[in-house]
Amino acid sequence: MSIRVACFGDICGEAGRKSLVDYLEKHRGVFDFVVANGENSAHGFGITQRICDQLFSAGVNVITLGNHTFDLRNDLQMFDRNKNLVRPLNYPKGTPGHGFVTCQLPTGKKITVINLIGRVFMELNDDPFSVVNEFLNVNRLGTTTDVIVIDFHAETSSEKIALGYYLDGRVSGVYGTHTHMPTADARILPNGTGFLTDCGMCGDYNSVIGMEKSAPVLRLTDKINAHARMTPATNMNTSSVCGVAFDIDNGGKCVDIQTIRMGGNFLREQKDYIKR
């Protein structure tokens, strides 16, 4: 029987947290393992221990992060204290936390989750391609772990797609986060890796990528207010949950991939998952 791994895009503020928690409550037993990106979960910027506890209690197994990982610096020990809270692997050596985690299912199967961050139009970090290549030379699919999924937090579609083909056959799934806009290109690459350029976000889509519309519009149209403070949009009626689900066979290959787009503006986007 395949392993179904659900991976959710950037959780943006309270609306995103509530939407994902509600979705996971409704879908208990549907997924064998759940990953969610939490770098925007604390009012749009960073994450807190309280939010980690809330997401883990709701059924999230691993929380990945991104460029807003350390926006809140009052508890840097949190990143070492929570082994299932994963920041980008290609951050410089000495950065708090860790860039991957391997978890064991009740069946004995092992799942490795890796977080990477892109470099195109992003802050300068170590090369994600060489860093993950070095990691996979030691941690091999089918040898040291049964499933490997990668959250690639990056700006450009080309960098994400390139990483997907670079790792095709060496990992079970590669999916993008960061842009907050879900893409329509979910597919299985030639050597068995599931791929989606971007999951989108969990949050209020009646917004500008999760933020109340007024401040982003001012930033783009008014020189005096070019640094207007942004706050997350909060309307639960237009809040959606976006992600991707990979079905992984006993060899670690992806045999099915489906996008998850439910609630709010995506209410009629696709049929819902049902329990197996």
The pTM of the full predicted model, rounded to 2 decimals, is 0.95
* Mean pLDDT value across residues 47-61: 98
pLDDT at 17: 97
Six token digits for residue 134: 């070095």
pLDDT at 228: 81
Residues 6+ apart with CB under 8 A from 182: 9, 198, 199, 200, 242, 259, 261
pLDDT at 223: 85
Q: How many CB atoms lie within 10 A of CB 86?
A: 25
Six token digits for residue 275: 């329990």
What residues act catalytically?
Answer: 68
Q: Binning pLDDT at 50, 70 and 90, where does residue 269 land?
A: low
pLDDT at 264: 85
Q: Binning pLDDT at 50, 70 and 90, where does residue 229 land?
A: confident
* Mean pLDDT value across residues 160-175: 98
Residue 267 has pLDDT above 80, yes or no: no
The average confidence (pLDDT) of the chain is 94
| Distance in angstroms (rounded) separating the CA atoms of residues 161 and 158 | 5
Q: Binning pLDDT at 50, 70 and 90, where does residue 268 land?
A: low
Residue with tokens 């991957």, as numbered in its chain? 100
Domain architecture of the chain: domains with CATH = 3-206+235-266 (3.60.21.10)
pLDDT at 270: 65
Whether the Cβ atoms of residue 263 and residue 240 lie closer than 8 Å to each other: yes
| % the chain with pLDDT above 70 | 97
